[in-house]
Structure 1
Amino acid sequence: MAVDPHRQTSLHCLYYWAERNPEKLYLTQPYPDGTVEDITWKQAADQVSRMAAHINSLELPERSNIAILGKNSAHWILSDLAIWAAGHVSVPLYPTLNGEAAAYILEHSEAKLLFLGKLDGTADGWSDIKGHIPSDLPIISLPMSPRNDTPKWLDIIAEHEPAKPRLPDPDTLATIAYTSGSTGRPKGVMHSYRAMMSVADGLQQMFTASSDDRMLSYLPLAHVAERAAVETQSLYFGFHVYFANTLETFQQDLQRARPTLFFSVPRLWMKFYLGVNAKLPPRKQKLLFSIPFVRSMVKKKVLRQLGLDHCRAALTGAAPLSEEIITWYRNLGLELLEVYGMTENFGYSHASRPGQARIGYVGVTNPGVEHRIGDGDELQVRSPGMMLGYYRNEEKTTEDVTADGFLKTGDMGEINADGYLRITGRVKDLFKTSKGKYVVPVPIENRFNHPSVEVVCVAGANQPQPCLMLLLSEDVRGSLATGMSRDGLEQELTNELKAVNEGCEAHEKIAFVVLVKEPWTMENGMLTPTMKIKRNVIEDVYNRKMDEWFEQKKKVIWEF
């Protein structure tokens, strides 16, 4: 399949569907007061054209960089489109950034205008960011913006007639996506419209999406994964996008959307799994699933309560998901398909195909993608979604891209005889014990599975043996706080540690597990926006305690 000439870029797609299906719903936005707004394709195109007229009136320099800061919302996507319709380049910022990082991106990207969206300072970085926005940077407030003293989206579109959009050349720069900065300063990854559209082209060949599909948008749109999976695909295929209001209403938002396609990350798949187990304990599940005339009804009920009973393709990416969790979902009737990609190739790299997935592998190359293993077992990928380079950083571009156009991913991998890729770790995650032996954390972390544990991190550089830090689920932490005995849980974790160590080389065996007190969140910098652990940050926080923990000579150490 080739990209439809009428849908060469995301902006082409908007006007294509506005003409073809003008009254069909495109965006559904819930608001804090309980109201819900539906926006049709015709209304979306009209709002974008009116905002483009306003941007044109500002007489910004040609191809200016314009920032978007806010949680996911209908108007986040409309802002992105309006920037393109006015002939400029969009620069998304993660809403969970701290003030210093936000200031760096605004300065480094040379942003000439900021669209300020949904923020409230509770589950985002607004409280810190607001003091770091340059005073001379013009701001336009979207609905649910924390600022009331700037020009507002709804007022602006009421005051302007629609401008004729500037439909872009597919090979020009569309967006600068800054990496999450898990190590060092964020890098500005430049993507063309064509690279962004390669995702829709390839996924059409694998999953046959259509205008009848539905998705829920809740992972950060500033990340290429959500931008590729939800924004770009919805624009290309013309399907309906729903948004989540808050974490507290997430289940309600999911029930409203009843998505047919659903993309999530391991941390959230684990939360769903733990939530079901809290209501229907594993022992009871095993019993009910063993009764022929009951099992189907119970499984359907579980999926319906999750809001995933209409889901025909469920994707997981950004980090590994354990075999136990994948098997559990498949047993429910939901085939989780692992996908793999990088910011630098707009997430377009590898995917598991329906009916052909292999647990432990992230699938095979997407259409048009090539892969190989380079020095140090590092995976290298050449993709139609490949970046134009890093903004204002040619030296780093040259360092990360080979002379023949392959991206050095930083991930260690293995490719089997059938072309399936297994990610075995991050090149920079390897560490040496005090005995001079290398430890690869990810495979060990993937083997440690317990229904009370939400996320784990293997550490122990320059120590006699590695150790494992773990964060208990919110429900379990709550039960412990109200008097639940620790003894049973401690014994179960000891048994799990023993089982994991049986599969480790001598130098990899985990000395002990630590139950950490402070939750790992995006807000405190220990998780990336896609909920991967920031290993270097976590290690920095706990390194000073390592010697004390080793001296205790216990298998399970409680930090609280």
Structure 2
Amino acid sequence: MELQSNLEYVLQHAKNKPDATFLNQPVDGQWHQFSWAEVEQQARRIAAGIKAQNYPAKSRIGIISKNCAHWFITDLAIMMADMISVPIFFNANENTISHIVKHSELKAMFVGKLDEMESAESAIPESVLRIAFPYPTVTASSKWQAWLDNFEPLNDIYLPNLNDVATIIYTSGSTGVPKGVSLTHKNLLAATKCAVETLGLSSSDRCMSYLPLAHITERSLIEGTSMVAGATIYFIESLDTFIDNVKYAKPTRFISVPRLWLKFQSEIFAKIPQRKLDFLLGLPLIGKLLAAKIRKNLGFDEVVRYGSGSAPTPPAVIAWYQKIGINLEEGWGMSETSGLSCGNNPFNRADIGTIGTPLSCVEMKLSEQEEILIRGDAVFEGYYLNPEANESAFVDGWFRTGDRGEITQSGAFKIIGRLKEEFKTSKGKYVSPAPIEGKLCASSNIELACVTGAGLKQPVALVMLSESAVSNKSQLESELIETLNEVNQTLEHHQRLDYLYVCGQDWSIENGLLTPTLKIKRSNIESKYNKLLTDNITDKVLFE
């Protein structure tokens, strides 16, 4: 009989290899192992604790915490108790948490590792039961260890059906109020099994879990695939211990997001200037040895495949990583498609700059307006309690992604912009900002960019400097002008940037200029800076 949920795969692994390690959790520098059997037994006890609250079946149960072993165990326990999980980003602000709590009508919330406590403390009402993971966290009337001690493992666990709603994932809200994406076990399992097959994952693989589990990429490509394939997971303790934790784990697979790939690159350039490094990497023997040393210093000496997703990765960055023996397999997906739906898997140099080809669990095509449409077992059926959004989200059974695309000769899809992000200059010409932003971020001086200019004669770019940016202001200005000219040479005349505006303040999640997944919050950035931008500027670079 075919298994119908991630839970059933975990039960199978716990039966077939009970003593094998599944989860590895660092605490105060010491590593703690959880076997498959221990994960199952703890999940059964936590499920018993949930059942003891006498909530109606299919009640929504929240999780707000950084990644840890207890996150995985809680997710399984919620399934066992016939409830629906609602993950919340650990760095979400008070308004977002409050909206999700109310909209999903949460009955309880598991609370864990957080950078700051005030938002969760204020936003979770007393009517919502709090269960605290065994880490410093917000006040809670119930404790993880107490539930493990006081509840016997639940024998009569619920085994989900394919069409049961498994989770409601609230989009990170780069524009507007987050919407709840209802995903069934069928959706999640289709995407997860397809990813395991496409990426060739097996029980011998070791993976890091550090990107937010509230995001579909981590939930599907790390948690989900590990449960299906039987792979081993390692968590990180903090950003300060990140590299040490990766070196300890010796992962065989590693996935990250473009901003972090850019950060890794910047840290490398901070030790060896880019031009010198590129010269050394170009030398036959020395280059190979140096590339291996760089990979080892990052903890990547045993990684066989690398992934990048959640936002476009600049092609120049992908090309640079090839110099150190890292092929970034760029993937594309959405919460609405249960994660990875299209990817450059296995890596094909000819498809750099594209999102590759669709996975077997979905079909993709372009509408007459060049919008990417998608359907298949991995694609959700609708937003939670949002009929208006559902009405506009589908056309003839196809989900409208909002991405404008084109199909290359090799059959790969290429995203050329977001329909809602396009803006019109005063000349009446439409500009798609994302591709231009990608070109700018190929510069080692620029970490993030936001191209804007509705109503201006030409678009302009707001940029945030990288940590490795040139410190000498005169030299920095000269290099930024060079970058501007190089990028403009690749653009149509109406797309060419008038100037770069260098923002003095870092863009962060805390100040509302980045989403929890580190994508730019375009509307917030434009609201903050657009009043400073005019057509009457003659300089090519302006510093705030």
TM, length-normalised to structure 1? 0.94
Task: Report the AA paired with residue 16 of structure 1.
Answer: Q
- Shift in Å, 1:297: 1.2
1:342-361 alignment, distance < 5 Å:
342-357=334-349, 358-361=351-354
- Shift in Å, 1:524: 1.7
- Shift in Å, 1:279: 1.0
1:4-43 alignment, distance < 5 Å:
5=2, 7-31=3-27, 33-43=28-38
Report Cα offsets for 1:13-36 as digits up to 9, x if no partner: 1111111111111111122x3232
Whether the aligned pair in 1 keeps the contact of 2:120 and 2:138 (CA below 8 Å) is: no
Give 3-state SS (helix, strand or coil) of 2:339's partner.
Answer: coil
Give 3-state SS (helix, strand or coil) of 1:390's partner.
Answer: coil
Distance 1:157 1:30 in 2: 20
Give the percent of matched residue pairs that are identical in Structure 1 and Structure 2. Answer: 37
Matching of residue 338 in structure 1 with residue 330 in structure 2: yes
Distance 1:485 1:499 in 2: 21
* Counterpart selection for 1:90 from 85, 90, 108: 85
Matching of residue 72 in structure 1 with residue 84 in structure 2: no
- Shift in Å, 1:332: 1.4
Relative to structure 2, which stretch is displaced further, 439-448 or 143-152? 143-152
Report Cα offsets for 1:236-285 as digits up to 9, x if no partner: 01111111221222111221222111111100010011111111222222
Distance 1:225 1:175 in 2: 14
Distance 2:44 2:289 in 1: 49
The aligned residue for residue 424 of structure 1 is 416
Equivalent residues, number: 541
The aligned residue for residue 486 of structure 1 is 473
Give 3-state SS (helix, strand or coil) of 2:208's partner.
Answer: strand
The aligned residue for residue 230 of structure 1 is 222
Whether the aligned pair in 1 keeps the contact of 2:23 and 2:234 (CA below 8 Å) is: yes
Give 3-state SS (helix, strand or coil) of 1:523's partner.
Answer: coil
Matching of residue 553 in structure 1 with residue 526 in structure 2: no
Give 3-state SS (helix, strand or coil) of 1:91's partner.
Answer: strand
Matching of residue 464 in structure 1 with residue 457 in structure 2: yes
Report Cα offsets for 1:328-354 as digits up to 9, x if no partner: 111211111011111101114201122
Distance 1:239 1:116 in 2: 26
1:305-454 alignment, distance < 5 Å:
305-357=297-349, 358-403=351-396, 405-448=397-440, 449-454=442-447
Relative to structure 2, which stretch is displaced further, 190-199 or 284-293? 284-293
Distance 1:90 1:83 in 2: 6
Whether the aligned pair in 2 keeps the contact of 1:349 and 1:383 (CA below 8 Å) is: no
Report Cα offsets for 1:499-556 as digits up to 9, x if no partner: 1111222221111111111111122221122211111111111112113xx4442111
Give 3-state SS (helix, strand or coil) of 1:338's partner.
Answer: strand
Matching of residue 61 in structure 1 with residue 56 in structure 2: yes
Distance 1:280 1:354 in 2: 30
- Shift in Å, 1:487: 0.8
Task: Report the AA paired with residue 293 of structure 2.
Answer: K
* Counterpart selection for 1:106 from 101, 104, 119: 101
Give 3-state SS (helix, strand or coil) of 1:12's partner.
Answer: helix
The aligned residue for residue 120 of structure 2 is 129
Whether the aligned pair in 2 keeps the contact of 1:27 and 1:38 (CA below 8 Å) is: yes
The aligned residue for residue 44 of structure 2 is 49
Give 3-state SS (helix, strand or coil) of 2:279's partner.
Answer: helix
- Shift in Å, 1:149: 4.2
Whether the aligned pair in 2 keeps the contact of 1:242 and 1:257 (CA below 8 Å) is: yes
* Counterpart selection for 1:248 from 240, 250, 253: 240
Whether the aligned pair in 1 keeps the contact of 2:196 and 2:225 (CA below 8 Å) is: no
Whether the aligned pair in 2 keeps the contact of 1:348 and 1:383 (CA below 8 Å) is: no
Whether the aligned pair in 1 keeps the contact of 2:113 and 2:137 (CA below 8 Å) is: yes
Matching of residue 161 in structure 1 with residue 156 in structure 2: no
Matching of residue 192 in structure 1 with residue 188 in structure 2: no
Relative to structure 2, which stretch is displaced further, 208-217 or 356-365? 356-365
Distance 2:347 2:435 in 1: 25
> 5+ residue gaps in structure 1?
none
- Shift in Å, 1:145: 4.3
Whether the aligned pair in 1 keeps the contact of 2:329 and 2:347 (CA below 8 Å) is: no
Distance 2:53 2:439 in 1: 55
The aligned residue for residue 291 of structure 1 is 283
- Shift in Å, 1:383: 2.6
Task: Report the AA paired with residue 313 of structure 1.
Answer: R
Whether the aligned pair in 2 keeps the contact of 1:198 and 1:348 (CA below 8 Å) is: no
Matching of residue 530 in structure 1 with residue 517 in structure 2: yes
Report Cα offsets for 1:453-497 as digits up to 9, x if no partner: 111111111112111111111344xx7xxxx42111110111111
Distance 2:75 2:474 in 1: 53
The aligned residue for residue 141 of structure 1 is 132
Matching of residue 455 in structure 1 with residue 438 in structure 2: no
- Going from structure 1 to structure 2, the CA distance change for 1:373 and 1:136 (only over 3 Å counts) comes to same
Distance 2:146 2:56 in 1: 24
Whether the aligned pair in 1 keeps the contact of 2:508 and 2:514 (CA below 8 Å) is: yes
- Shift in Å, 1:355: 4.2
Distance 2:114 2:361 in 1: 39
Distance 2:114 2:412 in 1: 41
Relative to structure 2, which stretch is displaced further, 455-464 or 219-228? 455-464
Distance 1:180 1:485 in 2: 37
The aligned residue for residue 543 of structure 1 is 530
Report Cα offsets for 1:108-145 as digits up to 9, x if no partner: 00111111111131xxxx32232121121111111224
- Shift in Å, 1:326: 0.4
- Going from structure 1 to structure 2, the CA distance change for 1:198 and 1:145 (only over 3 Å counts) comes to farther
Distance 1:396 1:10 in 2: 29
Distance 1:293 1:379 in 2: 44
Give 3-state SS (helix, strand or coil) of 1:465's partner.
Answer: coil
- Going from structure 1 to structure 2, the CA distance change for 1:225 and 1:149 (only over 3 Å counts) comes to closer
The aligned residue for residue 76 of structure 2 is 81
> 5+ residue gaps in structure 2?
none
- Shift in Å, 1:289: 2.0
Give 3-state SS (helix, strand or coil) of 1:228's partner.
Answer: helix
1:168-183 alignment, distance < 5 Å:
168-183=160-175
Whether the aligned pair in 1 keeps the contact of 2:253 and 2:306 (CA below 8 Å) is: yes
Whether the aligned pair in 1 keeps the contact of 2:361 and 2:378 (CA below 8 Å) is: no
Question: RMSD of the TM alignment (CA)?
Answer: 1.5
- Shift in Å, 1:317: 0.9
Distance 1:182 1:450 in 2: 24
Distance 2:105 2:477 in 1: 53
Task: Report the AA paired with residue 455 of structure 1.
Answer: L
TM, length-normalised to structure 2? 0.97
Task: Report the AA paired with residue 8 of structure 1.
Answer: Q
- Shift in Å, 1:375: 3.9
Give 3-state SS (helix, strand or coil) of 1:414's partner.
Answer: strand
TM superposition outliers: structure 1 runs of 4+ over 6 Å: none
Task: Report the AA paired with residue 72 of structure 2.
Answer: I
